[in-house]
Amino acid sequence: MRVRHAVTGSTSLRLVLGIVLLLLAAMPWLIDPFRLSLLAKAISFAMFALSLDLLWGIAGVFSFGHAAFFGVGAYALALITRDLSFPGNGWVGLVAAMLLPALLALGIGYFTFYGQVAGAYFAIVTLAVSLVLTQLATTWVGLTGGHNGLFPVPPLTLGIPGVAEFTFDTPTRIYFLQLTLLAIALVVSIGVVRSRFGQALVAMEGNESRARFFGYDTSALKLIVFTISGAIAGLAGGTFATIEGFVNPAVLGIALSTQVIIWVILGGRGTLVGPVVGALLVAFLEDYLSGTFLRVWLLMLGALLLLAVLFRPEGLLGTRKIRRLIGTR
């Protein structure tokens, strides 16, 4: 089990988190509005990476198609705020952006965590879900606008419906909303990890059979963390939709699912803070890279990842122990 870990409240991680949040809070005074909205979008991806790290880095459940939840959240919020204009639709949109992916996760989890199939099965099922949903979004033109997607997605209006509403329609407002939501997501995730439930997850990640022999119902544990992860990913997707102003099937697809895996690995799997920072940096950068550069960038990331797996068995940031791999299969 990792020592440098959010669970043990490592000082250096807390320090990093503190610095990062302070820097982020100061951004509106440091950069121009255009870059600010790019950063706000990157925060959506940071939340997304956080959701995957909770599931994968902490609980050890690898998801190959995590964008399915991000995308469902994005579409849910887009449809509600765009097509149903009633006071309070911002809140309903946010709730739906979390609830629908959570239900999806519950469904998938129920059919995959129970029964004695290998972890690879779950990974493949999530891949298939991501593919199927992308297909669905592309062909169900009536609902999703098909290949062209939904446009425009209005800015979010929150506050007290009918009484004191507040629309997030400037880069600064959007940015602070994002920062707040990120902070909340972080608080929730760190809270989960430091709780008894979180300790059980880490025990399970270290050695699932052993955890079961202690009496832990690992299928139930996985189901719960998967649902939470799905909800956070959905929230990330929803916020992305309102910032971008537009959703298309790419938010559900495999490219995004692949990218978030890389963000988590680069940031430091299992540290929660690492993937957030990693995603912020890399996503922010990727927005600058277009076309060919992006492909070369991805190619380099792939090569880096391969080298890391081959030659640094403890993981990229030394966060895994080799020992647990002996004698457990």
Partner 1 sequence: MAVATAVAEADAILAVRALHRHFAGLQALDGVDLSVRPGELLAIIGPNGAGKSTLFNVVTGLLAPSSGEVEFDGVAITGLPPHRIARLGIGRKFQVPNVFDGLSVRQNLVVASRGKDGLRGLLGRDRVDPERIREVLDRLGLEPKAELPAAELSHGERQWLEIGAVLVSDPKLLLLDEPTAGMTMRETRSTEDLLRGLAEGHTVVVIEHNIRFVREVAQRVVVMHRGRILADGTIAQIERDERVRDVYLGRTA
Partner 2 sequence: MEQALVQILNGLSTAGILILVALGLAITFGLLGVINLAHGELFMLGAYTAVIVTDAGGSTWLGMALAPLAVGALGLVMERGVIKRLYVRPFDTLLATFAIGIILRETMTLWRGGRFERVPNPIQRQVEILGARYSTYRLFLLALGVLVLGGAALVLYRSRLGRNTRAAIENREIAAAMGVDVRVTDSAMFALGAGLAGLAGAAISPLVSVEPNMGLPILASSFFVVILGGTGSLLGVAAGAALIGGGQALVSWFADPVIAQISVFLLVIVVIRLRPRGLFGR
By a kind-dependent CB cut-off of 5 to 8 A, residue 197 interacts, out of partner 2, partner 1, none, with partner 1
- DSSP per position, 91-130: HHHHHHHHHHHHHHHHHHHHHHHSSS--HHHHHHHHHHHH
Q: Does 194 bind partner 1 (CB under 8 A)?
A: no
> Could you tell me the two tokens for 236?
């990330």
What's at 112, amino acid-wise?
T
Residues 308-327 that bind partner 2 (CB under 8 A): 309-310, 313, 325
Cβ nearer to partner 2, comparing 16 with 301: 301
Task: Report d(CA 29, CA 290) in Å as an integer.
Answer: 27
Contact 39, 284 (CB under 8 A): yes
Mark residues 91-130: x for contact with partner 1 by CB under 8 A, - for none. -------------------------x--------------
Of the candidates 257, 229, 185, 234, the residue with the CA atom closest to the CA atom of residue 76: 234
Member of 141, 143, 183, 220 binding partner 1 (CB under 8 A): 220
Member of 19, 120, 141, 289 binding partner 2 (CB under 8 A): 120
Q: Does 329 bind partner 2 (CB under 8 A)?
A: yes
Member of 30, 213, 291, 322 binding partner 1 (CB under 8 A): 213
Segment interacting with partner 2, rule: CB under 8 A, options 119-127, 170-178, 236-244, 279-287: 119-127
Phi, psi of 253 (to 5 degrees): -90, -175
For helices 171-194 and 196-206, angle between their N-to-C axes, nearest 10 degrees: 70
Q: Does 211 bind partner 1 (CB under 8 A)?
A: yes
Cβ nearer to partner 2, comparing 106 with 131: 131
DSSP structure class, residue 57:
I
What's at 129, amino acid-wise?
V
Task: Report d(CA 301, CA 173) in Å as an integer.
Answer: 34
Cβ nearer to partner 1, comparing 220 with 307: 220
**CA distances, 91 to each of 100, 101, 161 (Å):** 14, 16, 9
Cβ nearer to partner 2, comparing 62 with 216: 62
Question: Which residues of this protein are in contact with partner 1, per CB under 8 A?
Answer: 1-3, 5, 7-8, 116, 195-197, 199-200, 202-203, 206-207, 209-220, 321, 323-324, 326-328
